[in-house]
């Protein structure tokens, strides 16, 4: 632990220092959490199970910044217990006008408490007292004990505590800006001393606390009276001397203002379990804190860095870390690599790299290798001697020499730029961590090292786990850290091996995820050809449509306004035009897409329709602009696939995100025409599964009726509709089919009766009746959906056909919202996850078959359930047969897999 800033006298209980006074930081927990809640949009801060986290994030961010800036030696946070305090007993209307605490906020107070506990911060909450009183008590005790005190609160009543050694830090902009209130600042703002502030507050009243003021008496009059008479008590005694209407009102409200004065005075002698001296900051429980942050799904690395940077135990921890991961090693000497590798035999080796990748090409600048014992080694590939380069190329391509990497796909991709083939990857620590805990937000190497090895890496790596060097690449500390990374990767691999076996996921890593990462690396390097002129013309078309919508919107209301400003749009829609009010939010009435669609249906005014078109065209323009920016010098778009983003096991893509390209609209189809066959190839072939989620649901539920509906070869939704509505198949109309299709897919996604009613535009009762009828006809599906939730509630997780687990601790949560969200995940995770597993198996089978049959055609993309292959001249027939065979045989379902294939010169023309 860091050296203490103060020494405690056991006899007196006072704190003293040889130099600076100790500094006690006190925070009003509820006040600051509320400010954070309203400063950050709750819709942007939610966990996968629906738990809001905006108040926790804002509070913690503010705390980290304040600890950094103020450097307190002691720390505590005070919370309210309830509104029924001694003030309520004296005045039952106290705070009665405050609105009900939002449900989204209430659950976050407990989470803040868990986070503070992991940080080693003492927190106080005392029945019948407010946080203010606890703070006043600690501040008074601390001043007497020789402390400087800092109070962070949004309650101005705390200004009465300000003194030479007590400063209030008052939030003036959310929780990001704090204003320092010293005695001089209080006097500057109010013309009074801090001790006179409660007198002033009593006369002024406080609407937020429902304390009535005196009619006709504002802040200026209250200040004048306190200044004139010297104190509240003197004013009360000489109230008859106050002239005019204000004096009459004062005398008429004497009892009320006297009550105000009692209520605004903070209690300074609350009985507490400990005093200021015992609030010295302690080292974090870093493992516990990482677990809390992971549970809250706070992925932002800068946020974590700021929080851990102010850990009082950081120095001691850094010393322990340095001792724990320090690796003896040095730069490779010419001709020495073979001897170093031979010294480790066939034992697994950890590898860490420094590399860059952009627009389909990259380079490696540093490589470090480490074994379980002995010195590590690092080298710059550009400076390798020819003999060493051959040795390294042979070792990295040897499947019999096991390698442990973090994000192996990225290494495979960039190594290929140097002509190196990577084989023998026995462990990828990022993928292993994902299989063990797929719901976590960060798979960064440093976070995993802390959680599973109990040690940190310094300096911290990037999100990929790879080190970033500055201009001085030969910096010894950075190179030591790189070698420490290589050792850490190896140690993590050992730790994860046991966990994977315990979770039954060893085969998933070995047979599915690792081979998939190698295939994705090849696909990313290949990319897909882009028709730049076509995309540029599209971007201009969408830009023109945006400007046209702006002009139409201005004409519709008779003046210009900013269509991108929610505030201005609210004023136009609900103020000027007087359209029906939509859902109320803290910033006004919502103007999101659903609200605009509702307005379009409710009114004849053209503006909502224009706004919807404006937003749609603007989104399309941004999508196309993003695609153009990612066209590499080779004329191709090289997206980056990720295996660790979607907890269900589905792949995602970034730079660009190809899942953002619309599929079913005319504009989306125009965008897809910008992805074309490349030079030297004949065509693009697309293949995907028909109704794979529903086939998986039929397989898992073993419902004979649903399986039979698939095996008839007729239209599934028509066949199911005839059963549900008890009519002949030819009597199933389009509306019946639409309802059945929505419900069937809804069940696969955990959709409730209410959700189905919203989707179909029918009442919840009608939706519930439709689901009941469905379950009467397909009882196996009903039984399966009930069974999977109950089993998951018992085990804590769901499993796919291949054993991929999704842990759902909130299934047993006391919070109804979180519990119901977890139940929906339990319903869809096995179905969605199994579909994702089957798609990966299909990709691997197709990739292996193309190689085995020595075809030049290659796989380029995997988006949703679709695979895109670039077909070499003369290979179309063989490739189509191969793709159909391998995809259909990817997994034996009771409702057999059905594959659709299309071929064309561009992605859209190849649709089927």
476 CB burial (10 A radius; 0-12, 13-18, 19+): exposed
Q: What Cα–Cα distance (Å) separates residue 909 from each residue in 430, 635, 682?
A: 37, 20, 13
Backbone angles phi and psi of 257, in degrees to 5: -75, -30
Contact 692, 710 (CB under 8 A): no
Cβ atoms of 861 and 528 within 8 Å: the answer is: yes
Burial of 760 (0-12, 13-18, 19+ CB in 10 A): middle
Residue 208 is encoded by which pair of tokens?
């937020």
φ/ψ of 688, rounded to 5, equals -150, 170
Distance (Å, rounded) from C-alpha 797 to C-alpha 640? 30
> Looking at the domain that runs over 693-833, which CATH code has it been given?
1.10.150.20
Tally of CB atoms within 10 A around 349: 26
How high is the pLDDT of residue 98?
A: 57
- Give residue-wise pLDDT tens across range 862-897: 998 899 999 999 999 999 999 999 999 999 999 999
Segment 837-865, tens digit of pLDDT: 999 999 999 999 999 999 999 999 999 88
Does domain 21-184+267-279 sit in CATH 3.40.50.1010? yes
* Rounded percentage of the chain residues whose pLDDT exceeds 90: 45
List the alpha helices (DSSP H) in 345-475. Answer: 386-396, 408-415, 429-436, 445-448
pLDDT of residue 253: 63
- E strands in 174-306: 177-181
Cα 721–Cα 722–Cα 723 angle in degrees, nearest 5: 90
Distances in whole angstroms, Cα of residue 47 to Cα of each of 33, 441, 713: 18, 9, 41
CATH number for domain 529-637, candidates 3.30.70.260, 1.20.1060.10, 1.10.10.1150, 3.20.20.70: 1.20.1060.10
Residues 840 and 33: their CA atoms lie apart, in Å, by: 44
Considering only CA atoms, which of 259, 26, 69, 22 is closest in space to residue 155? Answer: 26
Alpha carbons 478 and 468: distance in angstroms, whole number: 9
Residue holding tokens 């209307």? 93
Domain residue spans in the chain? 21-184+267-279, 325-527, 529-637, 693-833
Half-sphere exposure of 654 (CA within 13 A, CB side): 6
Element (H, E) at 383: none
- Rounded Cα distance between 747 and 303, Å, is 38
Q: In this structure, what token pair is assigned to residue 586?
A: 């803290």
Q: E strands, 609-746, where? A: 636-637, 640-642, 652-654, 675-676, 683-689
CA 805, 809, 810, 813 dihedral sign is: positive
Q: Residue 244: its pLDDT value, please?
A: 66
How far apart CA 241 and CA 885 sit, in angstroms, is 101
CB 556 within 8 A of CB 548: no
Average pLDDT per consecutive 10 residues, the chain (912 residues; last block may be shorter): 30 42 92 86 73 89 91 93 71 61 78 90 89 92 93 86 92 76 87 76 64 68 72 69 68 67 80 92 85 77 82 58 50 84 93 91 92 89 89 95 96 94 96 89 83 68 34 62 91 94 94 97 97 97 94 94 88 91 78 86 91 92 93 96 90 89 87 96 96 93 91 85 88 88 80 78 85 88 91 91 89 76 87 95 97 97 94 97 97 94 96 84
Res 295: pLDDT: 75
Q: How many residues does the chain have?
A: 912
Alpha-carbon dihedral sign for residues 136, 142, 148, 152: negative
Q: What is the per-residue pLDDT for 724?
A: 86
Is the domain 325-527 a CATH 3.30.420.40 member?
A: no
Tell me the helix, strand and coil percentages in the chain, rounded to 5. Answer: 55, 15, 35
Which of these, 704, 690, 711, lies nearest to 898 by C-alpha position? 690
What are the CA-CA distances from residue 341 to residues 345, 406, 413, 699 (Å)? 7, 20, 23, 49
């Amino acid at each position: 632990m860091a050296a203490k800033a103060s020494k405690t006298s056991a006899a007196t209980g006072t704190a003293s220092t040889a130099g600076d006074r100790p500094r006690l930081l006190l925070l009003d927990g509820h006040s600051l959490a509320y400010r954070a809640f309203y400063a950050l949009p709750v819709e942007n801060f939610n966990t996968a199970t629906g738990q809001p986290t905006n108040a926790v994030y804002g509070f913690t961010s503010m705390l980290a910044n304040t600890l950094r800036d103020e450097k307190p030696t002691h720390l505590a946070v005070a919370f309210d217990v309830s509104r029924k305090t001694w003030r309520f007993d004296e005045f039952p209307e106290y705070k009665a006008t405050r609105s009900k605490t939002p449900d989204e906020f209430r659950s976050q107070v407990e989470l803040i408490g868990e986070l503070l506990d992991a940080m080693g911060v003492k927190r106080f909450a005392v029945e019948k007292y407010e946080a203010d009183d606890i703070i006043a008590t600690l501040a008074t005790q601390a001043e007497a004990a020789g402390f400087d005190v800092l109070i962070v609160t949004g309650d101005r009543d705390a200004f009465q505590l300000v003194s030479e050694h007590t400063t209030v830090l008052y939030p003036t902009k959310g929780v990001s800006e704090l204003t320092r209130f010293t005695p001089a600042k209080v006097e500057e703002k109010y013309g009074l001393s801090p001790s006179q502030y409660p007198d002033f507050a009593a006369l002024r009243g406080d609407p937020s606390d429902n304390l009535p003021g005196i009619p006709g008496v504002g802040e200026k009059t209250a200040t004048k009276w306190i200044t004139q008479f010297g104190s509240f008590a003197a004013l009360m005694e000489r109230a008859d001397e106050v002239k005019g209407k204000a004096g009459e009102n004062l005398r008429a409200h004497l009892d009320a203002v006297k009550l105000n004065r009692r209520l605004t005075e903070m209690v300074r002698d609350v009985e507490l379990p400990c005093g200021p001296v015992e609030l010295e900051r302690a080292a974090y429980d870093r493992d516990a804190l990482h677990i809390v942050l992971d549970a809250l799904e706070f992925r932002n690395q800068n946020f974590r860095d700021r929080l851990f940077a102010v850990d009082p135990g950081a120095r001691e921890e850094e010393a322990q870390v340095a001792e724990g991961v320090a690796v003896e090693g040095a730069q490779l000497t010419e001709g020495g690599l073979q001897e170093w590798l031979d010294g480790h035999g066939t034992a697994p080796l950890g590898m860490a790299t420094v590399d860059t990748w952009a627009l389909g090409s990259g380079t490696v600048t540093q490589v470090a290798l480490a074994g379980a014992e002995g010195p590590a080694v690092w080298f710059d590939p550009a400076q390798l001697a020819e003999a060493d380069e051959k040795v390294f190329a042979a070792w990295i391509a040897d499947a019999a020499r096991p390698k442990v990497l973090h994000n192996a796909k990225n290494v495979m991709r960039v190594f290929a730029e140097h002509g190196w083939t990577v084989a023998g990857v026995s462990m990828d620590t990022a993928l292993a961590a994902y299989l063990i805990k797929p719901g976590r937000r960060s798979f960064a190497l440093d976070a995993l090292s802390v959680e599973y090895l109990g040690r940190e890496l310094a300096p911290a790596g990037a999100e990929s786990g790879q080190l970033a060097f500055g201009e001085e690449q030969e910096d010894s500390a950075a190179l030591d850290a790189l070698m420490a990374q290589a050792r850490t990767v190896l140690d993590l691999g050992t730790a994860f091996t046991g966990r994977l076996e315990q979770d039954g996921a060893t085969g998933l890593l070995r047979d599915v995820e690792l081979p998939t990462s190698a295939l994705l690396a090849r696909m990313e390097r290949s990319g897909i050809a882009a028709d730049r002129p076509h995309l540029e013309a599209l971007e201009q078309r969408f830009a023109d449509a945006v400007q046209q919508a702006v002009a139409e919107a201005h004409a519709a209301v008779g003046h210009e306004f900013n269509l991108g400003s929610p505030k201005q749009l609210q004023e136009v829609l609900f103020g000027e035009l007087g359209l029906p009010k939509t859902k109320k939010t803290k910033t006004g009435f919502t103007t999101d897409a659903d609200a605009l669609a509702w307005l379009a249906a409710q009114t004849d005014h053209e503006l909502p329709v224009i706004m919807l078109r404006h937003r749609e065209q603007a989104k399309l323009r941004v999508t196309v602009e993003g695609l153009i920016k990612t066209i590499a010098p080779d004329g191709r778009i090289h997206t980056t696939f990720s295996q660790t983003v979607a907890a269900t096991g589905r792949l995602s893509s970034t730079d660009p995100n190809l899942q953002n390209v619309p599929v079913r609209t005319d504009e989306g189809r125009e965008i897809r025409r910008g992805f074309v066959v490349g030079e030297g190839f004949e065509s693009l072939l697309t293949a995907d599964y028909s109704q794979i989620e529903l086939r998986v649901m039929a397989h898992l539920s073993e419902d004979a009726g649903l399986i039979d509906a698939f095996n008839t070869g007729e239209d599934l939704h028509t066949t199911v509709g005839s059963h549900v509505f008890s009519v002949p198949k030819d009597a199933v109309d389009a509306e019946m089919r639409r309802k059945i299709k929505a419900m069937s897919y809804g069940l696969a996604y955990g959709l409730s009766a209410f959700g189905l009613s919203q989707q179909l535009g029918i009442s919840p009762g009608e939706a519930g009746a439709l689901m009941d009828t469905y379950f009467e006809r397909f009882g196996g599906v009903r039984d399966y959906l009930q069974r999977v939730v109950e089993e998951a509630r018992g085990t804590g997780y769901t499993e796919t056909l291949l054993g991929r687990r999704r842990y759902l601790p909130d299934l047993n949560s006391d919070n109804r919202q979180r519990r119901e969200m977890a139940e929906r995940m339990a319903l869809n995770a096995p179905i969605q996850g199994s579909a994702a597993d089957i798609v990966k198996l299909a990709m691997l089978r197709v990739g292996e078959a193309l190689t085995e049959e020595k075809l030049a055609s290659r796989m380029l993309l995997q988006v949703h359930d679709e695979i895109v292959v670039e077909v070499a001249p003369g290979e179309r027939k063989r490739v189509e047969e191969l793709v159909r065979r391998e995809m259909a045989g990817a997994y034996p379902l009771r409702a057999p897999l059905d594959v659709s294939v299309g071929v064309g010169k561009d992605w859209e023309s190849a649709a089927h």
